[in-house]
Amino acid sequence: MLRLLGLLVRLVIRLKVIVVSMGVGAAIAYGLSARQASRTWGLDAADVGRELPGDGLVDEPDHVETRSLVIDALPASIWPLLMRLGYGRGGWYSYPVLDRAWRPIGPPSRRAGAATGTPDGDLAEGDIVPTDPDGGLVARVVEAERALVLYLDDATLRERLERQAAEGSDQARQVLDDLDEMPSFGLSWAFVLEPEPGGRTRLVERVRLRMEVGGAQRRALPFMGLGLFAVMRRQMIGIKRRVENAAG
């Protein structure tokens, strides 16, 4: 177990969102009230059982988180924030630490509350939504004003690292060595916008995670689940506040 956690730490630049969520989850696990809140906040039984865009990217997930909230705005007002997700762009609208490069020196991302006119452009399928200066998650589903689904797995990560190592990156070579001992994984992160009566929109987020581990390592997955809940909750509230504040 300690060996696995050590490898995760060394992969932090490539898997920053996942690793931070584990740390946040471990802290939350000590509070009974927080654990209870994670079971109920933003949880709609109708959302949990239905299919959402991108579900097919991760078959037989070991952990699924589905949360939602209603925003007093149309999908057209929310979609631009999703198009600016990522390090060096609009940020993650969640904990500020996720918007930093995580290096001894280096610039932070633009603040997640940047003005809505930032020239980040639209995402297309296959584009990288960066988590750091060198990598990030792949946009696998982009349906304007409806759905954005980000994805990462060990094969995608390995391909990117091999390319960077071939270009002379010592850091990429080191992480490649560690990747040989990492369990296979797949991660999808969906953002779905659904119109509601009265000019409102339901924002639904779903994370599906597959990680081929067993025994004690599998028992640690609930800690990651608590962390994912913490990140998703903060992010969804952040998006809601930004959109509604912009609307006046």
- CA separation (Å) from 12 to 111, 127, 175, 187? 21, 21, 10, 15
Q: Between vectors from CA 26 to CA 23 and to CA 31, what angle results, nearest 5°?
A: 135
Ranking 51-65, 144-158, 160-174, 189-203 by mean pLDDT, the lowest is: 160-174
What's the total number of domains in the chain? 1
pTM of the entire predicted model: 0.79
- Quickly state the pLDDT bin for 223 (edges 50, 70, 90): low
pLDDT at residue 6 tops 90 = no
pLDDT at residue 77 tops 50 = yes
Q: Which residue has the higher pLDDT, 215 or 85?
A: 85
Q: Which residues pair with 194 in a beta bridge?
A: 202
In which domain, by residue range, is 16 found? 2-246
pLDDT at residue 115 tops 90 = no
Q: What is the CATH number of the domain that holds 41?
A: 3.30.530.20
- Residue pair 7/168 in contact by the 8 Å Cβ criterion: no
Q: How is 68-115 classified by DSSP, letter by letter?
A: EEEESS-HHHHHHHHHTBBTTTTB-SS-GGGGS--SSS-PPPPPTT--
